């Protein structure tokens, strides 16, 4: 004999799934409980956070070939900004936005570099934050992902392979292109070729003469400059000497560009591993020129908005 019981119907929950949530990057429809966009694999947390904000987030891309130092640079940038409240106040949006900073600082404290960024978009670290400066009333909302160099190159060579990269770069208001200065000084051209291909891809991604990439700010950042003093002293002269094609392309195709040099560590040793060969070991953290490219890019983005308020 079965006892009769009352089972409440929770059909009201179906109503939540009837209203789609649009991805902030590609505008694809997703269910309310989706963690990643089913179309481009961007975090749906970005859409949920942006929905409740009066100020819509801007997008700034940090790109570069594999081993250019994107993860270390972004992680150190976020750590330095969080420690300078008199210069800028930063508020991270979502727990996921702290992961990149945590992993970078933790790895450097153990005298090693963070793990290489995986090629799969669902394993990338994203940063969504709000910046407030004492000299400005309006806050600035930013979204910056740490995208894998191999994935960026694959998207450049074969468009639409990684939808999240193409969509993000098309909507980005500025880009920081990181280039390994040590590799260039030693005569290796892989990073030079990568950056030239990237800039050609951007120029063709949005060709609008007023709002396209020809008018958006581009910061070329030479990384690992602690091992290349000439680069730190004069990034423009270094670019003209070691990346002639890249320098000419910037002059011809991008009205707003600037060259920078940066380094995160002050000294490096080498450890020998039976499996990985020679491994770089950071002996001390000594940031130089980390914030300057970001500040210049942010100022240029704000200037662009004043010139094009409807953008």
pLDDT digits (tens, 9 = 90+) for 208-241: 888 899 999 999 999 999 988 889 999 999 999 9
pLDDT at 16 over 70: no
- Give Cβ neighbours of residue 30 (< 8 Å, ≥ 6 apart): 20, 21, 22, 23, 37, 38, 44, 47
- What pLDDT shows up at residue 279? 80
As for how many domains the chain has, the answer is 1
Average pLDDT for 49-56: 78
**pTM, full prediction:** 0.89
Q: Is residue 4 part of a domain?
A: no
Quick one: pLDDT at residue 75?
A: 95
Examine residue 14 and state whether it is found in any structural domain, yes or no. Answer: no
Whether the predicted pLDDT of 308 surpasses 80: no
In a domain, 61, yes or no: yes
Mean pLDDT of 103-129: 93
- Predicted confidence at residue 17, as pLDDT, reads 66
Summary mean pLDDT of the chain = 88
Region 254-281 average pLDDT = 84
Tell me if 1 is assigned to some domain.
no
- Would residue 3 count as lying in a domain? no
The range of the structural domain enclosing residue 297 comes to 22-27+36-49+56-306
Between these two residues, 257 and 210, which has the higher pLDDT value?
A: 257
Kindly report, residue by residue over 152-193, the tens digit of the pLDDT: 999 999 999 999 999 999 999 999 999 999 999 999 999 999
Alpha carbon of residue 270 to chain centroid: 28
Asked if the structure places residue 6 within a domain, the reply is no
Can you tell me the mean pLDDT for 46-53? 83
What's the pLDDT at 221? 97
pLDDT for 303 equals 82
pLDDT score at 134? 81
**Do the domain assignments include residue 206?**
yes
Q: Give pLDDT tens digits for 23-46.
A: 999 999 998 889 999 999 999 999
- Is the Cβ–Cβ distance between 71 and 112 less than 8 Å? no
- What CATH number is attached to the domain comprising 202? 3.40.50.300
State the pLDDT at residue 52.
Answer: 72
Residue 2 covered by a domain: no
pLDDT band for 14, please (50, 70, 90 cuts): low
Radius of gyration of the chain (CA): 21
CA 92 to centroid of chain Cα atoms: 15
Least confident of 52-66, 70-84, 124-138, 275-289: 275-289
pLDDT at 7 over 70: no
Q: Tell me what percent of the residues of the chain surpass a pLDDT of 90.
A: 63
Mean pLDDT score, 279-300: 91
Question: Measuring CA to CA, how many Å separate 88 from each of 135, 140, 174, 303?
Answer: 9, 11, 20, 18
Task: Flag whether pLDDT at 19 surpasses 90.
Answer: no
pLDDT value of residue 304: 77
**What is the Cα–Cα distance from 308 to 46, expressed in whole angstroms?**
25
Statement: residue 94 has pLDDT above 90 = no
Residues 6+ apart with CB under 8 A from 221: 73, 176, 177, 178, 179, 260, 261, 262, 293
């Amino acid at each position: 004999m079965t006892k009769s019981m009352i089972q409440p119907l929770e059909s009201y929950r179906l109503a939540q799934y009837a209203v789609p949530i649009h991805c902030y990057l590609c505008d694809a429809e997703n269910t309310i409980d989706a963690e990643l966009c089913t179309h481009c694999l961007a975090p749906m947390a970005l859409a949920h956070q942006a929905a409740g904000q009066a100020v819509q987030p801007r997008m700034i891309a940090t790109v570069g070939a594999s081993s250019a130092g994107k993860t270390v640079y972004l992680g150190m940038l976020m750590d330095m900004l969080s420690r300078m409240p008199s210069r800028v106040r930063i508020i991270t949006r979502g727990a996921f936005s702290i992961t990149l900073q945590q992993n970078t600082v933790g790895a450097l404290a153990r005298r090693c570099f963070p793990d290489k960024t995986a090629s799969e978009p669902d394993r990338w670290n994203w940063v969504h934050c709000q910046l407030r400066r004492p000299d400005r009333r309006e806050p600035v909302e930013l979204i910056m992902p740490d995208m894998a160099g191999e994935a960026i190159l694959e998207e450049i060579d074969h468009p639409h392979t990684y939808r999240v990269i193409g969509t993000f770069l098309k909507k980005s208001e500025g880009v920081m292109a990181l280039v390994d200065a040590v590799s260039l000084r030693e005569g290796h051209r892989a990073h030079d070729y990568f950056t030239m291909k990237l800039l050609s891809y951007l120029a063709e991604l949005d060709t609008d003469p007023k709002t396209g990439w020809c008018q958006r700010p581009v910061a070329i950042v030479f990384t690992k400059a602690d091992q290349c003093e000439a680069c730190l002293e004069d990034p423009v002269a270094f670019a003209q000497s070691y990346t002639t094609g890249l320098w000419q392309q910037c002059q011809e195709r991008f009205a707003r560009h600037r060259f920078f040099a940066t380094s995160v560590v002050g000294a490096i040793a080498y450890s020998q591993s039976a499996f990985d060969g020679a491994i770089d070991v950071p002996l001390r953290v000594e940031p130089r020129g980390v914030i300057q490219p970001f500040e210049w890019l942010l100022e240029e983005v704000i200037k662009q908005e004043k010139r094009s308020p409807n953008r």
